[in-house]
Amino acid sequence: MSLDMSLEIEGEIPDWEALDNAIRSVGVINYEIDRDYVFQGAFKKSDGYFWLSKRSEAQRKTVIAEGNHGCSFCVYNAIVFRINNFYYDDFVEDMNSFLKKLTSLSSMQFVLSFQYEDVYAVRNKRGFEFFWDQPR
Mean pLDDT along residues 86-109:
97
Looking at residue 56, what is its pLDDT?
A: 76
**Span 17-58, pLDDT tens digits:** 999 999 999 999 999 998 677 899 999 999 999 999 988 777
* Residue 135 resides in a domain: no
pLDDT tier at 87 (50, 70, 90 boundaries)? very high
For residues 21 and 30, the answer to whether their CB atoms sit within 8 Å is no
Q: How many domains does the chain have?
A: 1
Alpha-carbon gap, residue 54 to 42, rounded angstroms:
18
Largest CA distance in the chain: 37
* Residue 88 resides in a domain: yes
* Residue 136 resides in a domain: no
DSSP state of 64: -
* Residue 98 resides in a domain: yes
Report the CATH number that the domain containing residue 109 is assigned in CATH: 3.30.310.180
Mean pLDDT along residues 4-20:
93
The overall average pLDDT reported for the chain is: 92
* Residue 79 resides in a domain: yes
Alpha-carbon gap, residue 4 to 50, rounded angstroms:
9
* Residue 24 resides in a domain: yes
Alpha-carbon gap, residue 71 to 94, rounded angstroms:
23
The sign one gets for the Cα dihedral 25, 29, 34, 39 is negative
Mean pLDDT along residues 54-65:
81
SS3 18: helix
- Ramachandran quadrant class, 61 (left: phi over 0; alpha: psi -120 to 50; beta: rest): beta
Q: How far is CA 59 from the centre of its chain?
A: 18
Higher pLDDT, 99 or 126: 99
Q: Give the residue numbers spanning the domain of 109.
A: 3-130
* Residue 44 resides in a domain: yes
* Residue 28 resides in a domain: yes
Phi, psi (rounded to 5 degrees) for 59: -90, -10
